[in-house]
Amino acid sequence: MRDFSPDHRWLSLNTATVRRQGDLAQIVEACARHGIRAIDPWRDQVAAIGLDRAVRIVRDAGLELSGYCRGGMFTSDAAHRSEVRDDNRRAVDEAKALGAPCVVLVVGGLPQFSRPGSAPSKDIAAARAQVDDAIADMLDYASQANMPLAIEPLHPAYAADRACVNTTGQALDICDRLDPQRSGLLGVALDVYHIWWDPELMPQIARAGKDRLLAFHVCDWLVPTEDILNDRGMMGDGVIDIRSIRAAVEAQDFAGFCEIEIFSNAWWDRPMDDVLRTCIERHRTVV
């Protein structure tokens, strides 16, 4: 297992962590100030400053990417299906332009929440079937661009509105169905916030293996959690045994960035430099 204590060379910042403190250009500047060498930007942050400018500032700062957030939200009614497909193809194109190693997929829950305006449904099995079909379609497009897709299983609390893929095993079942040859173009983004509770986690990480482990996200689970979306904890402030999960991922030879992704009203209220200093300190001591 890698020793993170001497430096933070394997720290990547998911830019949502400080999205209220500045735009993508300001976040990139702050990363340079703090010696952070990788980010995972969000599409809305890229769009806000323009793709060309985003590409330029990332390149000029010498930053790497650990992913691109995000594609997916595949579930919709029939009327929205082509819009969903085109939107996801654009995500692949943007990721390619930015030099991302993968597009992170949050697959969508029930259609009326994933793609507002879609006819309401309570059929989660149908949503899951639709996710399979849509990933297969996106994989065709992404393969031509040689852009890997990383399915992020989300905690079951998000099954209705964000993702009906809720366990690592379920995400790997999709990978095995659509990419049995393990091409490296389809895998998982494992976020400790979503997966830490799963009794099947450790065997599923072993099942994933190096070629399916495309991204690793960290934060912490606070008790109590006041807001399921925007009350994630800073690493070390909650109950997740982050180091054991990282050890399991690295036992499969995962050697990528350890990406900090914290959606938190509390941390969004703090100055950007404070947040980044704390991220670095916790990366070295508890991740």
- What does the binding site for Zn ion look like in residue numbers (CB under 5 A)? 191, 217, 261
Q: Which is nearer to Zn ion, 40 or 179 (CB)?
A: 40
Q: Which is nearer to Zn ion, 151 or 185 (CB)?
A: 151
What is the chain's alpha carbon radius of gyration, rounded to the nearest angstrom? 18
- To Zn ion, the closest distance from the beta carbon of 193 in angstroms equals 7
Q: Which is nearer to Zn ion, 70 or 80 (CB)?
A: 70
Neighbouring CB atoms inside 10 A of 203's CB total 13
Residue whose CB is nearest to Zn ion in the complex, by number: 191
Q: Which is nearer to Zn ion, 80 or 193 (CB)?
A: 193
- To Zn ion, the closest distance from the beta carbon of 152 in angstroms equals 6
- To Zn ion, the closest distance from the beta carbon of 154 in angstroms equals 8
Lookup: tokens for 83? 């819009």
- To Zn ion, the closest distance from the beta carbon of 232 in angstroms equals 10
Question: 45 with 57: CB under 8 angstroms?
Answer: no
Q: Which is nearer to Zn ion, 191 or 220 (CB)?
A: 191
- To Zn ion, the closest distance from the beta carbon of 231 in angstroms equals 15
